[in-house]
């Protein structure tokens, strides 16, 4: 559950980093104080955590040199070993607000993060945030949306999480929030256990196998010591298998065995180890189709597909109403701009309309990027149409697409260009015919084609035509 946006963990203790991962959206790790100072000055975290590598004196010196704006001071926590040569008092005198001793106390980080988050939201004027979330589960997992689609997804998440369903499959297009859904399930089902994620597309078959199951020393060249796999590491928490469709077929067979037997063996091992974790798999491909095309095992598909949670794309009519809510939420919560800059605090109606019209193939992730880019480009305190830069999808760019979905501005020149391109497209680039369709001479048509640099369309990749990597023309009227 991401309670905070950014935490910087200073020191090499992996346990501290792991707990930070559970409470923050982004965790930045620094091995030493010099690296930490650079990170803290760049990312403005909500919290910094020191492990016991650092004495109270060094922490005091660090806080003194990085603390140049008291109103944005991150909360500092010392997460140290049970026994250190220094007392809690000494850490606190050095400027840390909490001193957590030993792993059991490190768990209090959740509670501290919640306390840090509340005043932080008040300070940013986020009192409207509660209106973005349908219920506590949504708020705890940061899932913004009030549409019917989000409500029914959350209800299904609750039902599945409270059942004994294991494994759980989450599907949906890229950027729809599958990982958020997985974290919401984890939050409900396992208050304390770890949430361990692995992207099945990011590793080679052999690496993925040893990541998942672990290995015994000497089981293959390079295995110079025993390795604990993610299944074991997840313990009684959650193992999130992202992009399961990309898992190699022979590993799929091994995973199926784990799901059926609830035991596994390390690579090169002989002992069966119990698997107690909840396994959540996600896919943005249609697994049924993958089975038909023999890229995914049918038996594994049926094993996973007990009560699938499908997340609707942002463009679906049941979810479109969330676009505005999400855009305003990202505007309020993003800190992409330097704090010295004027705060962009609203979106003009025209800009909102442009957001509503787009098809969002990259879903919520794409929307977030568009808003953050607009915040950087915008020079006033409201995001206007000219700062909204969107990649046009093929459907939107098609000459035959309805005008209301295609145009983002009201420029006559643009309309003329589109009309000419459409006439040429429909006549298969027969210029005489196109000119007569348009009611202009061939010479005028030639001149316009040159003026607007209209070219025959090339085949497009993945349905995306990159036309929008620059700001659109200025907004013609000031509205809102």
Residue numbers at the binding site for Mg ion (CB under 5 A): 179, 242
Residue nearest to ligand ATP (CB): 177
365 binds ligand ATP (CB under 6 A): yes
CA 291 distance to own-chain centroid: 27
387 binds, among Mg ion, ligand ATP, none (CB under 5 to 8 A by kind): none
Q: Which is nearer to ligand ATP, 80 or 149 (CB)?
A: 149
**Which entry of Mg ion, ligand ATP, none binds 180, CB below 5 to 8 A by partner kind?**
ligand ATP
Q: Which stretch binds ligand ATP (CB under 6 A): 43-51, 105-113, 176-184, 203-211?
A: 176-184
Given Mg ion, ligand ATP, none, residue 190, with its beta carbon under 5 to 8 Å by kind, binds: none
**Burial group, residue 11, by CB count within 10 angstroms (0-12, 13-18, 19+):** buried
Which distant-in-sequence residues (6+ apart) come within 8 Å of 61 by Cβ? none
Pattern 366-405, binding to ligand ATP, x per CB under 6 A?
A: --x-------------------------------------
Least spacing, CB of residue 330 vs ligand ATP, in Å = 8
Closest to 267 measured CA to CA, from 206, 222, 326, 319: 206
Nearest approach, Cβ of 2 to Mg ion (angstroms)? Answer: 14
Q: What are phi and psi of 427, to 5 degrees?
A: -100, 10
Out of ligand ATP, Mg ion, none, what residue 172 binds, judged by CB under 5 to 8 A for its kind, is: ligand ATP
Residue 174 near ligand ATP by CB under 6 A = yes
Structure tokens at 384: 């206007």
CA distance 88 to 246: 48
The tokens describing 412, both together, are: 């006559």
Beta carbon nearer to ligand ATP, 75 or 143: 143
Between CA 449 and CA 444 the distance in angstroms is 9
257 scored as a contact of ligand ATP (CB under 6 A): no
Provide the mask over 123-162, with x wherever binding to ligand ATP is found by CB under 6 A and - wherever it is not: -------------------xxxx-----------------
Under 8 Å between Cβ of 33 and 54: yes
Tell me the residue nearest to Mg ion as measured from the CB: 179
Q: Does 176 bind ligand ATP (CB under 6 A)?
A: yes
List the alpha helices (DSSP H) in 390-454: 394-397, 403-406, 412-426, 431-438, 442-452
Opening angle at CA 104, ends 98 and 107, nearest 5? 60
Output the six-digit token pair for 91.
């850490």
Which of the stretches 201-209, 351-359, 362-370, 439-447 binds ligand ATP when contact is defined by CB under 6 A? Answer: 362-370
Q: How far is the CB of 3 from ligand ATP (least distance, A)?
A: 13
- Tell me the window of 108-116, 169-177, 250-258, 260-268 that interacts with ligand ATP (CB under 6 A): 169-177
29 forms beta bridges with 9
Longest dimension (CA), the chain: 90
Q: How many residues bind ligand ATP (CB under 6 A)?
A: 18
Cα radius of gyration rounded to whole Å, the chain = 27
Angle between helices 109-123 and 14-23 (to 10 degrees): 40
Query: Is-contact 317 349, C-beta < 8 A?
Result: no
Per CB under 6 A, residues contacting ligand ATP are 142-145, 172, 174-180, 242, 284, 326, 364-365, 368
């Amino acid at each position: 559950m991401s309670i905070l946006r950014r935490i910087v963990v200073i020191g090499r203790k992996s346990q501290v980093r792991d707990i930070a991962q559970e409470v923050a959206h982004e965790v930045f790790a620094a091995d030493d104080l010099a690296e930490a100072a650079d990170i803290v000055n760049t990312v403005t975290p909500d919290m910094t955590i020191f492990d016991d590598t650092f004495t109270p004196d060094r922490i005091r010196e660090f806080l003194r040199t990085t603390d140049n704006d008291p109103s944005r001071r991150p909360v500092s926590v010392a997460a140290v070993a049970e026994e250190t040569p220094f007392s809690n008092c000494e850490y606190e005198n050095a400027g840390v607000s909490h001193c957590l001793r030993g792993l059991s106390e490190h768990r209090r980080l959740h509670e501290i993060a919640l306390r840090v988050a509340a005043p932080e939201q008040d300070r940013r004027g986020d009192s409207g945030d509660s209106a973005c979330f349908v219920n506590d589960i949504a708020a705890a997992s940061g899932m913004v949306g009030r549409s019917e689609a989000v409500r029914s997804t959350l209800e299904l998440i609750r039902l599945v999480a409270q059942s004994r369903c294991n494994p759980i499959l989450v599907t949906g297009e890229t950027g729809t929030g599958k990982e958020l859904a997985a974290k919401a399930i984890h939050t409900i089902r396992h208050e304390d256990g770890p949430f361990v994620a692995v992207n099945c597309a990011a590793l080679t078959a052999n690496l993925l196998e040893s990541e998942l199951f672990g290995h015994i020393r000497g089981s293959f060249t390079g295995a110079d010591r025993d390795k604990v796999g993610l299944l074991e590491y997840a313990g009684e928490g959650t193992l999130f298998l992202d992009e399961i469709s990309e898992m190699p077929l022979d590993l799929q067979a091994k995973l199926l065995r784990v799901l059926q037997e609830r035991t596994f063996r390390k690579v090169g091992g002989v002992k069966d180890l119990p698997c107690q974790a909840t396994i959540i798999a996600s896919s943005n491909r249609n697994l049924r189709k993958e089975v038909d095309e023999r890229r995914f095992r049918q038996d594994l598909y049926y094993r996973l597909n007990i009560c699938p949670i499908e997340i609707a794309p942002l463009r679906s009519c049941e979810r479109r109403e969330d676009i505005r809510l999400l855009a305003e939420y990202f505007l309020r919560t993003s800190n992409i701009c330097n704090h010295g800059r004027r705060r962009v605090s609203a979106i003009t109606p025209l800009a909102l309309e442009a957001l509503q019209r787009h098809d969002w193939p990259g879903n919520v992730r794409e929307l977030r990027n568009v808003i953050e880019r607009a915040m950087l480009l915008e020079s006033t305190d409201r995001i206007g149409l000219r700062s909204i830069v969107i990649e046009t999808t093929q459907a939107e760019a098609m000459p035959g697409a309805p005008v209301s979905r295609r145009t983002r501005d009201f420029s006559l020149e643009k309309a003329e260009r589109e009309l000419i391109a459409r006439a040429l497209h429909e006549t298969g680039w027969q210029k005489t015919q196109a000119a007569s369709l348009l009611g202009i001479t061939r010479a005028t048509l030639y001149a316009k084609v040159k003026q607007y640099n209209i070219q025959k369309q090339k085949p497009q990749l993945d349905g995306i035509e990159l036309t929008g990597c620059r700001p659109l023309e200025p907004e013609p009227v000031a509205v809102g």
